[in-house]
Amino acid sequence: METGLGSVEADRRLSREAAAQLREIAHELRNPLNALTAIAEIFRDQRFGPLPGDKYVEYAALAHGAAQRMLQLCDRLVLEDPAARSIETSPLSQVLGDIVGLFGPMAEERGVTLVLDLPESLPNLQVGTEALTSVVNNLVVNAIKFTPRGGRVTVSARAELAENVAILVISDTGVGMESDEVVRNMAPGWAGALSTVGVHGDTGSGMGLAVVRRQVELLGGTLELRSRKGVGTCAIIRLPLGPV
C-alpha cells in the first residue's frame, strides 16, 4: 500500500487520468450534440413549413436550448475554460422559470403537474448560473421521476434578507423515502449512490443527490432533505444572496 508522498502522487495521477477521460468523453459527445442542436434549430425556425401547433414550436425551442447548454458544458470540459468556474449574478426567478419551462413537457408526459411558486420579486443570487441550474435540474427531475401520475411537483423560493440567504424548495407528492433511505442519500461522498427506477420506469444511477449536495456546498450553501414514505419529499436549499 502506498503511503505519504507516494499515495498523494498516486491520487494526483488518478485525478489527471479521470480528467483526461472526461475531456475525451465530452469531445466525443460534441458531434452528436452539434447535430441535435442543428436539427432542433430547424424545427424551432420551421424551415420546412409550419409545425402543426404552438406546442411543437415551444418544445422545439426547449430542445434547442437544452442541446445548446449540453454543448456548452462539453466545450468547457474539453477546453478547460476558466469561465466555467466564474461566478455570475443571476436573477433567481429567471433561472427557476427556465428550468420549469424546460421540464414542463417531461412532467406533462408523465401526468405530473409542475408548478413554479415565486413571490412578486426576488433579489439576484450571486452564484455560478450553471451550478445552480445543475442543482435544481437534478432535484426537479428526481421529483418528477418519483411522483405518480396525478401528483404535483412545486418549485418555490423566497429571500430571507435578515440572514442574507435565498431559500429554494423543491417539493413533491411522490412515493417518498424511509428515514434510513434519507440518511443513505445524504451520506458524504458517493457511498449512498444506488441505482434507482422511478415510478414511470425511468432508471438512474442514484448519484443525483450526491452531485446536488456537492454543488450546493461549493456554492456556499446547505441542503436539507425531508421525506415521508407515501407522502412525498422536500429538498430545501439555502444559498447566500448577492447584493440586493
Q: What are the DSSP E strand ranges found in the chain?
A: 88-91, 113-117, 124-127, 152-160, 165-172, 196-197, 203-204, 222-228, 232-240
| CB 229, CB 158: distance < 8 Å | no
Determine the pLDDT at residue 118: 92
What are the per-10-residue average pLDDT scores of the chain (244 residues)? Answer: 59 67 76 81 89 87 83 72 54 88 91 94 71 88 93 94 90 92 73 68 71 85 93 94 60
Determine the pLDDT at residue 114: 97
- As separate numbers, helices (DSSP H) first and strands (DSSP E) second, the chain gives 6, 9
Phi (first) and psi of residue 57, to 5 degrees: -65, -45
Determine the pLDDT at residue 140: 94
List domains and CATH numbers for the chain: 4-84 (1.10.287), 87-240 (3.30.565.10)
pTM of the full structure: 0.74
Determine the pLDDT at residue 169: 97
Determine the pLDDT at residue 236: 96
Determine the pLDDT at residue 84: 46
Q: Which three cell numbers stand for residue 185?
A: 442519500
| CB 65, CB 101: distance < 8 Å | no
Determine the pLDDT at residue 157: 93
Sequence-distant (≥ 6) Cβ neighbours of residue 15 within 8 angstroms: none
Determine the pLDDT at residue 243: 55
